[in-house]
Every structure is written in C-alpha cells, then in structure tokens.
Amino acid sequence: MKTLILYDIPSKLEGKYWSDNITKSRQVDPLSAPAPADITPWSPHRFVLGYKGLPFQVEWVELPDIAPRMKEIGAGKNRLADGAETYTLPVLGDPNTGALVTDSWEIAEYLEKTYPEKPTFSHKSKGLIRAFTSALINLLQPAAIFPIFRASQILNERSAEYYMATREVMFKQKISEFSPEGPKRDEHWAIIEQAFTTSKEWYVEEEGKWLMGDVFSYADIFTASILSWLNRVLHEDEWEKIASWHDGRWGKLLADVKKECNHRM
C-alpha cells in the first residue's frame, strides 16, 4: 500500500501539529476562518488514520502558502455558506486511488468508504454523530476566540502574522482584545466548562467509556480532537484545568482515544 499524504499546518510545538479541526469549513461562524479561509481549528484526521492503521506522511504548509500549494497539486476549494469558494486545510492525498479530499468530514467519509475494515461510523450512526458534532461545536463556539487567541502564539512567524491579520479582520478587533484576563476570559472559561458538563451528561447515558457505550466511534474521535486542540494551544496550567474537570474524565478520554488510534503524539 502506498503512503497517504496529509497536508497540514506546522507550529513551533514539538511534533509541529496543532490544528485538530473538526468543523465543517463550509460553515461561516467564529470557528471558521474569514475569506480567504484557510483552516478550521481542529481535526480528527490523524486519529482516523491511526485507528484504521493507514500509513501516512505529513507535508507541512505555512498558512500564506495554502492557496498556491493547493492550486499546484490540484486540490479542490471549499464552498462557504455565503457562496464563496476558497482553499482550506486539511487535505488528504491518496496515491492508491488518486483522490484529493478536502475538509475533515469529507476525509472521514472517504476513509470510511475506501478503507472500511475498522469502521468509525458503526451501526449506521453517521447522521446521529453529525448531529452530535454540530451540537458540541455550537456549545463551544461562543468561547472559541480564547483558544484561537492562544493559537496565534504557537505558530511560526509567517503563519502567525497571517493568522493574526486575518483573525483581526474576522473578529473586527485587535488580537490583544480577543480574550483578555478578567471578566471576558472568565466568561470564556464558563462557556467551555458548561460545554464539557453537557458532554459529560451525554457520555454517562450509556455504560462504558465511549459515547456509544462499549462501541468506539467517530463521536469519540471528534471529542478527543477538540481536547487535543485545547491541549496543544492552551498554556499547560489551562489545559490541566480542563483535563481535571469531572474527576479527570477529559484527560482520560483523550489518553484513551490516543491509545485506541495509535496517535503519534
């Protein structure tokens, strides 16, 4: 089997990866980049590839280089809700089939169809999982500006400049005003904690450590990819705060999903 190629954005962090994006990049909301869009904040693609045991290598692309590099390889654009079309990452290249797949959800669907041996949408659960992912995004969306602010601090210089400039346009404020210490940051923390409190209620509905009880699914990958994003972009003490909520449930869930998916980092 030929090695798949994952086009991703590097950071200054060990291992380089950081952008674990799960949102549909066709949405226009604070979790999506402004036109020209480039990336959505987190992604389950690494988890899915690892779970299915598929060999892949990463080609790192700095944010300002996404459009020219994607044009060069012939990747398609994503269509935003306002009708605009733009290049985004992640993109998956599969030399075994010749496919170039853009957008995390489409990547997950492609891998499920092309490599079905270890399903992530068990028991015809795709529709329900899609509803779950949308619900969780909606819960986190009002506070997304906080980790977006933190992400600006871990990128390489060229990408950081591009990232800050485009996000300031999107939010119509200076990046220093995104989530300052004090009441605004406290509000963001309260929203994030409530989102995970609601998620905990969903998880405890079934016996077993996964959302579907004893059945591991894309829903768990989705949740873990959010946790991984927060783990990578937030300060260590901030991540430890999240990991400790609900008797350490979220730190343990991320560790369990990484183990299940043979995650590289």
Q: Is 147 exposed, middle or buried (0-12, 13-18, 19+ CB in 10 A)?
A: buried
User: What residues does each domain of the chain span?
Assistant: 4-120, 123-260
> In the predicted model, is pLDDT for residue 26 greater than 80?
no
Q: Which CATH superfamily is domain 4-120 in?
A: Glutaredoxin (3.40.30.10)
Its pTM stands at: 0.88
pLDDT digits (tens, 9 = 90+) for 162-184: 999 988 988 899 999 999 999 99
Position 80 confidence tier, pLDDT thresholds 50, 70, 90: low
pLDDT > 90 fraction of the chain, expressed in percent and rounded: 74
45 vs 120: which has the higher pLDDT: 120
In the chain, the N- to C-terminal Cα span, in Å, equals: 23
- Across the range 257-263, mean pLDDT stands at 88
pLDDT at position 205:
95
- What are the counts of helices (DSSP H) followed by strands (DSSP E) for the chain? 9, 6
Q: Which of 170 and 253 is assigned the larger pLDDT? A: 253
Res 264: pLDDT:
52
| Average pLDDT of span 5-11 | 92
**What rounded mean pLDDT belongs to the chain?**
87
Closest CA to 78 of 110, 112, 40, 48: 40
Contacts of 46 (CB under 8 A, 6+ apart): 6, 17, 20, 261, 263, 264
43-57, 132-146, 233-247, range with the lowest pLDDT = 43-57
CATH 3.10.20.30 fits 123-260, yes or no: no
Q: Are 140 and 195 in contact (CB under 8 A)?
A: yes
Note the pLDDT of residue 204: 96
Residue 15 has pLDDT above 60, yes or no: yes
pLDDT in tens, 178-230: 999 999 999 999 999 999 999 999 999 999 999 999 999 999 999 999 999 99
